[in-house]
Structure 1
């Protein structure tokens, strides 16, 4: 067995250990109501079991990282699959550090799902080892990507604690205008997470069914001399085509509910041969997520926030607010080093300039400015509690767009390999 094969086995083991750890954290918190023993002892016992399990998962994840590195001869952060797996591992490292400080089992019940979703999301992309292009073959790749991801991981833990704070303090019984507005946005945040899960359900569901479709699209280009030329590109779909590429013809498509083609096309202003496929994936994610959200509402017969809210009873909201702030405060200088300082040094070495207004560079700067404002409002203006938690939640949405949206939607120098 090669080291790369061993790394794949370790990755699968890490994923299942994270899933079990999440279940144990749920038992530690939600099971207190049905336990015969003292609630504090119940949470302590199952919290210890959950933390040991999540630590074993992190050990397996580290094994995956270092064996893939040794087997491929390059740090495994060079494509979308490797980066997202590293981000999942970094979130577990950040969670482990914060948990060791505060010893709050509830944090695991919200942080572990983030890791599970990101690890599952990584599995959507091609998993083959891809050789580094010369610009990436630098020590600065290692320090830039790893420190930036670690800073983002602490932001993720801050997001989890901030969301927990909102679920703890929002009044789900009051009918005042402010309470209804807060409930709406908390529910919308949960719905957004469900859409991401819906994306995974749709992709893996149709992948398991072996669905395939292919379209041909004629692409016109104009060179520097103004001479126009055209070529035919093919686009592979793994989800049934609700939207097909602009100005395309179906080559082959498996039948889904009797549908093998569609009259709906991606807008002409969406550039790139894969634009239609990406739009189609977004639509399927919303459909699958909405169906999943509707089923959960049907089962519980109440908003998801109202379902989770009772679990938060007895938790000190000030502790959650402190955890969220502390995680972001730790992550900010790490992110500053990785996403800005080390990134500019690497950009100067690779492309001969420190800054080039590439989309990823711009959004990294936006993310840094956002969290700078968060810390300013927190420390200088006294924005704590509800305001601070909303900023932590919104901030991680900005980070997710920087990580996913820029890589998958906006073309640029920083678009990861394997994103097509």
Structure 2
């Protein structure tokens, strides 16, 4: 990762090089802890088995949910395997919590070093969105049956943080004049929060499709081990829907406030700029998903595909629009 340098902005704001370096260090530390959390989560996931004797239902997730194995192990202790599995789940949450602290610290240090909100380029926006995504996962996946979802959350988060911290990294510096606006922290933070919750919703829809593909108790083939630890399909479908219901109005408010900002800056509310167009497409897809999920004729499976499509458009908007296509929203901070 590139070392931050002393910068001077158009408004005369200097950057604290020491705090910027500490921010980068906290970012790398958080990334390492997330990687350890992923390792623990994978061990927990791989250790899950369908109980052959005395299955114990995990409470709090609705539907048939998950069971932990209480079958006899090599030591002859009937509860030994179950205790170890729970231990790895706790280790996962401990590492996630520690990583989240360092992650947030990196954002706070960068904000103090720059003297502005830390989401003025793609590196910062990805970092903020991933932090909010982890916070959303800690809230929505707090029930025991959802612990197995952590590998599927941490993998995209780690990929985003790696790509953002390497190829998209920008040295700490004040934002360009176009972003020095009252609406900048409001619009971007709301969009980031909505996108973060949509991450959890998208992961839940992916898991729902896996569970539909491999029904609970009827898993077979090579992929049976991937599906066996997952909760019931209805449970995952409800998780995807409930998180989308929360994220959609937040994202909608962000789009509306972006239009207000555009009117004050460019003299028009909407101009079909590439980023505006992609945002509108993702908004429509999520609206269709909520409609499909609430309409019995569509079916949860078809709705899940639409939900995933909406999130893929968000990623397309984040990377392809910002990096490849030039427009009025080209503030990626890339050379």
Scaled by the length of structure 2, the TM-score of the pair is 0.79
Return the offset for 1:91.
1.4
Distance 1:113 1:381 in 2: 33
Change (3 A) 1:111 1:348: same
Which structure: larger Rg?
A: 1
Change (3 A) 1:127 1:24: same
Change (3 A) 1:105 1:335: same
- Say if 2:126 and 2:164, in contact at 8 Å, map to a contact too: yes
Aligned with 1:100: secondary structure? Answer: coil
Cα deviation code 1:55-111 (max 9, x no counterpart): 111111110111100011111211121111122212112211211256511111100
Return the offset for 1:26.
1.1
Scaled by the length of structure 1, the TM-score of the pair is 0.64
- Say if 1:321 and 1:384, in contact at 8 Å, map to a contact too: no
Distance 2:250 2:183 in 1: 15
* Residue in structure 2 matched with residue 147 of structure 1 by the alignment: 190
Aligned with 1:74: secondary structure? Answer: coil
Q: Match for 2:112 among 52, 70, 83?
A: 70
- Where is the strand percentage greater, Structure 1 or Structure 2? 1
Change (3 A) 1:354 1:101: farther
Distance 1:410 1:120 in 2: 22
Q: Is 1:334 matched up with 2:334? A: no
Cα deviation code 1:39-58 (max 9, x no counterpart): 55444332122112111111
Cα deviation code 1:300-336 (max 9, x no counterpart): xxxxx96554132153121111111122111111111
Q: Is 1:93 matched up with 2:93? A: no
* Residue in structure 1 matched with residue 29 of structure 2 by the alignment: 13
Which deviates further from its counterpart, 159-168 or 380-389?
380-389
1:212-227 equivalences under 5 Å are: none
Distance 1:310 1:99 in 2: 21
* Residue in structure 2 matched with residue 260 of structure 1 by the alignment: none
Segments of structure 1 that go 5 or more residues without pairing to the other structure are: 173-304
Q: How many residues align?
A: 287
1:3-152 equivalences under 5 Å are: 3-33=19-49, 36=73, 37=79, 40-100=82-142, 104-123=146-165, 124-152=167-195
* Residue in structure 1 matched with residue 322 of structure 2 by the alignment: 407
Superposition RMSD in Å = 2.3
Return the offset for 1:163.
1.2
Aligned with 1:104: secondary structure? Answer: helix
* Residue in structure 2 matched with residue 207 of structure 1 by the alignment: none
- Say if 1:32 and 1:42, in contact at 8 Å, map to a contact too: no
